[in-house]
Amino acid sequence: MAPKIPGPWFQVLNMPNPSQKLSLFTRKALYGTVGLVGSYMLPAPDVTIFCYHGLADDEWRFNVSPDEFKRQVRYLLTKYHFVSLDEVSTYINQKKAIARPAAVLTFDDGYANLAGFVPYFKELGIRPTVFVLAQPDRANRLELDNHHPLLSTAQIKELDKAGWIIGCHSATHTDFSLLSPRQLHEEISQAKVTIEKMLHKPVKYFAYPKGAY
């Protein structure tokens, strides 16, 4: 008998650049096999969180072109009801039911090219979440693996005003596995406080950079 999983179950998908054909083929083969087995063992997720990074036409592996991104969103709209991270939080605390498959759009790092999508998401009624760096001027570019411009303070405030949820993605996106307790405090707790002072409101969500610990 399949094991019972208590509480909400989530699936997080990192949406890749479609140009990475070989990588995609390998991942599809692997995930397809795992998914086939999982379909017999686990219930379908109530909420799927789609994790993007930048939206631009270039060769960086985590960028998706604007046209391709909009095509993906059109497809997702046929499968999911988009909700905000706040609604998912309410759902986790069992204060609100999610009656049909739901999805959340999130963006890591906080790239400046997201600012141009404010009207697009407003028209669709989607409230994305963007996890920004508290000290983008000190961003660890080696860890980010790019030199793309990051959102300015004014742009972050614009996204917040437009209804986007602003989360914390650390101070500089450094490798947490190499840090002292004091440095971890600066990258996590102090980063949250810095963003809260910028927005004059609580920051409730944190995205751990890269997962190394």
Interval 107-123: pLDDT, tens: 999 999 999 999 999 99
Helix and strand tally (H, E) in the chain? 8, 8
Predicted local confidence at residue 25, as pLDDT: 54
**Mean pLDDT, range 168-183, rounded to an integer:** 97
What's the whole-number mean pLDDT along residues 188-211?
A: 97
- pTM for this model (two decimals): 0.81
In the three-class reduction of DSSP (H, G, I as helix; E, B as strand; rest coil), residue 21 is classed as helix
C-alpha–C-alpha distance, residues 139 and 148, integer Å: 11
pLDDT for residue 30 = 52
Instruction: Work out the average pLDDT over 82-91.
Output: 94
Dump pLDDT digits (tens) for 16-56.
555 555 555 555 555 555 455 555 555 556 899 999 999 99
13: confidence class by pLDDT, cuts 50, 70, 90: low
Q: What is the average pLDDT across 179-183?
A: 97
73 burial class (0-12, 13-18, 19+ CB within 10 angstroms)?
A: middle
Binned at pLDDT 50, 70 and 90, residue 8 comes out as very low
Mean pLDDT of the chain: 86
Beta carbons within 8 Å of 143's beta carbon, 6+ residues apart: 173, 174, 175, 209, 210
- d(CA 174, CA 162) in angstroms, rounded, equals 29
The more confident residue out of 147 and 96 is: 147
Q: What is the mean pLDDT of residues 156-178?
A: 97
